[in-house]
Structure 1
Amino acid sequence: MRLGFGLPTFGPAANEVNGIARFAADAEKLGASSLWVGDRLLTPVDPSVGYSPGSPAIPDEFRVAADPLAALAVAAAVTGEVRLGSSGINAPWYPPALLARALASIDVASGGRLVAGFGSGWSPEEYQAAGVPFDGRGARLDELLDVLMAWWTTNPVEHRGPLFTIPAGHVGLKPVQRPHPPVYLGAFGRRALRRVGARADGWMPVWWAPEAFPAAQLTEGWATVRHAAEEAGRDPAGIGVILRVNVAAGTPVTVVAQEVLRMRSVLPASEVFVDFTFVAGTVDHTLDLAGSLLDLVSAG
């Protein structure tokens, strides 16, 4: 199981000048296998939906949020081997042609190290700020994925759908990875899980340290993905799993290591990455935690 880390794109650490570049370069030296970004636009003063089920609150850390595409580009420039992923970009916020171009550019700049992870988000206020309808976001994501596939794999590129129109045009910049960078989807709802099985290269579930919900939710979700793949005529064995582990405030790194190691028996994840946003307030602290976790997991 490979172990990666979230880049410091949220909270006080995201305000540190050159912090993303320094973290990326140093985390690679420590032995991280991958580096990841999330996607937040703003924290509403009066949110209609909270971050956690049953709670109206949104963590203060999300009040500071760096652009995920810019962060991936910075990390690509200062690293040479680690995979660079998004978990996940809230794809419906973005014009699909612009998103396709940006991600292709990052894959080229990194020499083919991009993992394109997408979600549909949960905040109506962020959708309003992005100028995109909150309703119908699932259909918007589906068609956006169609555009990405066309943009990355054909030339000239053309797409005509109910939401987006791409007139036939020459697009010569293609990702290094062929036919395209792996596309992973974050999902917990049944319809979203079925989308993973029907069309994605992999699933990106979320876990918490310490445990915040029964692990059975992960295994049941994975079963839904596999069943949907079979129904779509796909081989479930070809669908990957990359697990995100969010660390709750005040959690010792030893507990994080225990949860990471426990996940080996829960999901067939090829990669686990840990996000210390709610624990570490500086880049140096995040690097210290990452180094300690790498040592503990290696010893376990």
Structure 2
Amino acid sequence: MTGVHIGFAAPVSGSWATPDNIDRVAVRSEELGYHSLWTFQRLLSPPDGNWGPMYRSVLDPVSVLAYLAARTSRVRLGVAVVNLPFFAPPLLAKQLGTLDVLSGGRLDAGLGIGWAEEEYIAVGADRRARGRRAEEYLPLLRRFWTDPVVEHSGEFYTVPPTSMDPRPVQPGGPPVLLGGTAEAALRRAGRMADGWVSSSRADLAEIGASIEVVRAAAADAGRDPAALRMVCRGVVVVGERRKPLTGSLEQIRADLGDLAAQGVTEVFVDLNFDPSIGSPDADPAESMRRAEDVMAALAP
């Protein structure tokens, strides 16, 4: 696992997503030397449950990060991802900037454009031109963190001359990691972001191909590809071997090394997508026991 930082996903999905378990994972992550803690966003789920059990009951990611900021002192705190179209730019800038202040400059802002039509409809967001909206959104977000006065008139957003304080602790604001799997989204990450974060559905056996698209786009834009962070959500399921990051703990540890060889710089272990842990029907005490076993076995 040389050359790759290992993080862990906080309990945000299913029955194990309790204050006590979040606190326990936060404390153990620092005791065991993990690099980061992560959350994810899911606003709604369909009544038929066809998105999967891990999406039926999910805590708000920004609220959980605030809780984690108070319960930790060293690990970095990230979200993978918050969907930009669901927030007005100044609202998200204020929330993330505040989290950076409260955490002492430890926030990583994973941002995406969403995929669930139901959520778009419910929040009144327009799915059309999502890519163009993101291209306008990202520079505007950073301006709220850096400029003494922000004034903007664009295709999607208008901001009268105003200012936002306090500033984030990290110069320029929290690092922005863009999600997405389409080539246009990967190239946007290379051109505009501090790195890329994979989705829970990424094929980890082929993730190197996506990383190469991100890095090529960075080079085409005159940026240093080596400076970008490549963050992989590691959907871990301990049990029968089917794909990378499933199987025995020994096999999963070997997979982490393989991901580093493909260009991944950071992996966060996410057990929220294991149905026996992240489902509302799972036993929360047993889920936490299994999670602690994994945390101890995969600690850096």
- Equivalent residue number for residue 51 of structure 1: none
Q: Does 1:159 align with 2:155?
A: no
Q: Does 1:13 align with 2:16?
A: yes
The higher relative CO (CA closer than 8 Å, separation ≥ 6) is in: 2
1:190-225 Cα offsets, whole Å, 9 max, x none, are 1001101111110112467xxx84623x12211111
Taking the aligned partners of 1:227 and 1:23, their CA distance within structure 2 comes to 37
Taking the aligned partners of 2:189 and 2:290, their CA distance within structure 1 comes to 32
Instruction: Quickly say closer, same or farther: Cα 1:141–1:282, change in 2 above 3 A.
Output: farther
- Equivalent residue number for residue 53 of structure 1: none
Match of 1:258 among 239, 244, 254: 254
- The alignment's TM-score, normalised by the length of structure 1, stands at 0.86
1:12-49 Cα offsets, whole Å, 9 max, x none, are 122x24443343233322332211011101112368xx
Pairing of 1:135-214 with structure 2 (within 5 A): 135-206=128-199, 213=203
Q: Does 1:228 align with 2:217?
A: yes
2:16 match: secondary structure: helix
- Equivalent residue number for residue 104 of structure 1: 97
1:123-169 Cα offsets, whole Å, 9 max, x none, are 10111111111222222222221221110111122222111111111
- The alignment's TM-score, normalised by the length of structure 2, stands at 0.86
CA contact (8 A) 1:203 1:241 kept: yes
- Equivalent residue number for residue 39 of structure 1: 41
Percentage of identical aligned residues: 38
CA contact (8 A) 2:195 2:228 kept: yes
Instruction: Quickly say closer, same or farther: Cα 1:237–1:150, change in 2 above 3 A.
Output: same
Match of 1:69 among 62, 71, 74: 62
1:13 match: secondary structure: coil
Q: How many residues align?
A: 284
1:140 match: secondary structure: helix
- Equivalent residue number for residue 205 of structure 2: 215
Deviation at 1:100, TM superposition (A): 0.4
Q: Does 1:80 align with 2:73?
A: yes
**Runs of at least 5 residues in structure 1 that lack an aligned partner in the other structure:** 48-56
Match of 2:269 among 266, 274, 281: 274
**Runs of at least 5 residues in structure 2 that lack an aligned partner in the other structure:** 240-245
Deviation at 1:11, TM superposition (A): 1.2
Deviation at 1:274, TM superposition (A): 0.8
Instruction: Quickly say closer, same or farther: Cα 1:207–1:256, change in 2 above 3 A.
Output: farther
- Equivalent residue number for residue 231 of structure 2: 242
Taking the aligned partners of 1:186 and 1:90, their CA distance within structure 2 comes to 9
